[in-house]
């Protein structure tokens, strides 16, 4: 909760200066990535949930750099997550395909989409 107050204060403080558009952009990017830190340091989540979130976020950002399209990168990353669930967990029997895993994949992609929108800010 302290992190949210700090980010809000940073946004408000940088918003009052007329010549600090670079600082506002960097603050927005930091605010967009702060949920990733909350997921990493959360003691309530299982490791596999953190892995699905972080790999989806990193996978989205990597595919965004290659494809240069937010929506194509999001579809590719979600498609890879769904393929992993169906092929590796379902057909190969190395686990159980869970909707919970796809939820964490979707949250990771959403995190990446929010961050790439801040790049255009």
**What backbone phi and psi angles, to 5 degrees, belong to 69?**
-145, 125
Domain boundaries, the chain: 33-119
* Model pTM score: 0.74
What are the tens digits of pLDDT across the range 19-38?
567 777 777 777 787 788 77
* CA distances from residue 5 to 2, 9, 23, 28 in whole angstroms, order as listed: 5, 6, 18, 14
pLDDT at 42: 79
Contact (CB, 8 A) for 75 and 41: no
Please identify every stretch of the chain with a pLDDT value under 70, giving residue numbers as ranges. 1-20
Angle at alpha carbon of residue 20, lines to 33 and 61, rounded to 5°: 25
């Amino acid at each position: 909760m302290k992190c949210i107050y700090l980010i809000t204060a940073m946004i408000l403080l940088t918003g009052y200066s007329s010549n600090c558009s670079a600082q506002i952009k960097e603050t927005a990017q930091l605010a967009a990535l702060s949920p990733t830190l909350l997921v990493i340091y959360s003691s309530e989540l299982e490791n596999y949930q953190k892995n699905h979130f972080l790999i989806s976020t990193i996978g989205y950002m990597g595919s965004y750099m290659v494809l240069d399209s937010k929506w194509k990168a999001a579809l590719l990353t979600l498609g890879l997550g769904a393929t992993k669930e169906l092929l590796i967990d379902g057909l190969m029997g190395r686990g159980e395909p869970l909707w919970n895993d796809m939820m964490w994949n979707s949250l990771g992609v959403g995190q990446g989409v929010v961050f790439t929108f801040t790049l255009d800010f």
